[in-house]
Structures are given as C-alpha cells and as structure tokens.
Amino acid sequence: MKVTPIGGRVLVKPVPKKEKTDSGIFLPLEQQMQIPQGTVVSIGAAVKEVKVGDFVEWSISADTQPYTHNDEAHLILYEHAFIVKLVE
C-alpha cells in the first residue's frame, strides 16, 4: 500500500538515535541529543521544497505525528518544520 500525506505534510523515516558507541559504551543523555534527521519517503501535493529521497533535518520542537508504514517507524511532519536539506 502506498501512503501519500495530505497537503503540506511529509512522511519521513527518521535516523534512529545513537544510544551507545560502536564499541558498546552507553552515551549519556546529553550526548544522545542530536538534531533529528531522516529520509523523505512520501510527500503531499502542496510540498515544494523537498522531494522523495531527500535527507533532511528538522527542528527538535517540530510538531511530529508518529506513523507506522511497512512495520517501520516513520514520522509525519509539516514541510515548514524542516531546517535544512543535506546534499552530498
């Protein structure tokens, strides 16, 4: 089933928070805090600034709606919540 957000909303697959280092040491909460990032999975018809496949960062205080798609955790955000689009 294909999911298409309505209007100016965007479906994003977030990058999981890193809770421990590669060697297994648990990080304190202060170091776990990071700017939320993820990949755009689907966009609404009114979205103009991002496209599917873009890697984006959004505000920590952004209004997010949890959503499960294909048994994976996703978020629905408004397009104006994005801070930057990261390009390699």
Indicate which CATH number applies to the domain containing 67: 2.30.33.40
DSSP 25: P
3-state secondary structure of 53: coil
Contact between residue 18 and residue 32 where contact means Cβ atoms under 8 Å apart: yes
Q: Given this model, what pLDDT does residue 32 score?
A: 65
Residue 25 lies in a domain: no
What pLDDT shows up at residue 9? 96
Closest CA to 14 of 62, 55, 63: 55
**Residue 45 belongs to what domain range?**
9-15+30-86
**Inside any domain, residue 22:** no
With respect to residue 44, please indicate whether it lies within any of the assigned structural domains.
yes
Query: For the chain, which ranges sit under pLDDT 50?
Result: none
- Please tell me the distance from the alpha carbon of residue 12 to that of residue 59, in angstroms, as a whole number: 13
Let me know if residue 20 belongs to a domain.
no
Overall domain count for the chain = 1
